């Protein structure tokens, strides 16, 4: 990764604290459940990821993407929507992602007040 791209990604993460928190929680929840995020669909191709940083670099270089787990489940993520960035996910991931979704909705409701 070039220095300019790294700076761009780091700035995007810093400027999107809600989205960054959600992505981190998704990555960590999937890993804890034994079903880690292993690739990101950028709309044209799959990109392999193996660390939280890899996922963050992919997500914050895109407007929207799907995070795929080892089992093939996915999470659809849209940047720029703050606490509503977690847009959709497969039924197979409900037990992992529902708590993250509930947390994000609570944060979003609190921010709107």
List the chain domain ranges.
3-112
Q: What is the pLDDT along the chain (113 residues), one digit of tens a residue?
A: 667 988 999 999 999 999 999 999 999 999 999 999 999 999 999 999 999 999 999 999 999 999 999 999 999 999 999 999 999 999 999 999 999 999 999 999 988 87
**What's the rounded Cα separation, in Å, for the pair 92 and 23?**
18
Kindly report the pTM of this predicted structure. 0.93
Q: Which residues lie closer than 8 Å to 17 by C-beta, 6 or more apart?
A: none
**Checking phi first, is residue 105 left (phi over 0); if not, alpha (psi -120 to 50) or beta?**
alpha
């Amino acid at each position: 990764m070039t220095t300019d791209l790294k700076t761009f990604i780091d700035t995007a993460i810093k400027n999107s604290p809600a989205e960054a928190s959600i992505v981190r929680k998704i990555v960590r929840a999937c890993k804890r459940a034994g079903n880690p995020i292993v690739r990101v669909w950028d709309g044209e191709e799959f990109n392999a990821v193996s660390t939280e940083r890899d996922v963050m670099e992919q997500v914050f270089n895109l407007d929207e993407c799907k995070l795929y787990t080892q089992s093939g489940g996915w999470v659809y993520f849209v940047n720029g929507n703050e606490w509503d960035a977690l847009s959709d996910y497969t039924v197979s991931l409900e037990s992992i992602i529902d708590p993250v979704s509930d947390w994000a909705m609570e944060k979003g409701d609190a921010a709107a007040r």
